[in-house]
Amino acid sequence: MSGGINLLGLAVQGVLSLAAILAIWWIARAMKLGGDVRLRDEDHARELAEEAICGFGPVEVALDRARIGALVRGADGRVLLLRRHGSHFAARLIADYQGIRLDRQFLTIATRERRFGAVTLDLGPQAQAWAASLRRLGASA
């Protein structure tokens, strides 16, 4: 009889554990934690640029093909780098061409902030034009 009670106890414990796991999953989903966060489109990148710098005035956007990052040019010529950071996006202004490398359709941008790190964007055919325009950033300063 004690063997039956042990099996029943283990079954109840297993069901309760599964219920707890499902509850945690539901709470995380309701709070929109985790997941695969990506830029929806160019308008989404513009919104994020405006949130990052009030009055930025985005006029041109280059989305990474995987939509994990973007370059956004403001009306005043400044360029903002957006990159996925966890379940959000982080933004940094690109001050000069230092740390930028073009490799075919990939543009790698290493900011001076160690914690922000380097970002490689697959910009497709736009990569060369953006790299050329970023070369002029240091010249205007």
Distance CA 104, CA 108 (A): 11
Average pLDDT, the chain: 87
**What pLDDT, on a 0 to 100 scale, did the predictor assign at position 33?**
72
**What pLDDT, on a 0 to 100 scale, did the predictor assign at position 2?**
61
The pLDDT of residue 141 is above 60: no
The tens digit of pLDDT for each residue in 22-47 reads 999 888 888 877 677 899 999 999 99
The tens digit of pLDDT for each residue in 83-111 reads 998 778 999 998 888 889 999 999 999 88
106-115, long-range: CB < 8 A, 24+ apart: 107/71, 107/131, 109/81, 111/81
**What pLDDT, on a 0 to 100 scale, did the predictor assign at position 138?**
64
Confidence category of residue 1, pLDDT binned at 50, 70, 90: low
**What pLDDT, on a 0 to 100 scale, did the predictor assign at position 78?**
92
Average pLDDT over residues 12-28: 90
**What pLDDT, on a 0 to 100 scale, did the predictor assign at position 67?**
94
Indicate the domain borders of the chain. 1-33, 42-140
**What pLDDT, on a 0 to 100 scale, did the predictor assign at position 135?**
87
The pLDDT of residue 18 is above 80: yes
Give the angle 43-135-49 at the CA atoms, nearest 5°.
20
Please report how many Cα atoms fall inside a 13 Å half-sphere around the Cα of residue 118, on the Cβ side: 11
